[in-house]
Amino acid sequence: MKASVWIAVFCLALSAFAAPPPKPKLVHWMDYTEALEKAKNSKKLIFVDLYADWCVPCRIMDANTYSDPTVASLLNTRFISTKLDVDSQDTIVCDGKRKTVQRCYFDVWNLTVLPAFVLIAPKGLSIMTIKDSFTAEEMKYLLYQILEKEKEWISK
């Protein structure tokens, strides 16, 4: 009897230290090339999340910012959302130039830090780059600010 009590206590103690289950991915991230194509027809801005597997703030944003229901809803309904790994050697089109993701990051978008974001008009030209890590509340504010300029930027 004592052994079963100790086993139960041990199991409870272990469960207290278990990692919480991962939050579901709420944002529907599209392939970058598909996002460019879809933007031409839908007249929506493209929100590009630039990340790297080694970027800790990027992983924190994946776990906390993008799992926020309001942030996810905004990115899913008002933008075409895509992610690009800056360490990738895949070739994409950025501002009309065919380059690797890494060269777009450095040469075209003039970025050097992560996390970073690029806002792209439906015609495929970048409108702005943003460099920072955001909480869910900060991201909501940023997205609402972008949406205030949406009509002006859609025509670019």
Q: In the prediction, which pLDDT does 16 show?
A: 46
Q: In the prediction, which pLDDT does 153 show?
A: 81
How much is the pTM?
0.82
Question: 23-154 — its CATH code?
Answer: 3.40.30.10
pLDDT tens column, 79-137: 999 999 999 999 999 999 999 999 999 999 999 999 999 999 999 999 999 999 999 99
Where do the structural domains in the chain lie, given as residue ranges?
Answer: 23-154
In which residue are the tokens 């600010």 written?
145
pLDDT tens column, 10-58: 444 444 444 444 555 699 999 999 999 999 988 899 999 999 999 999 9
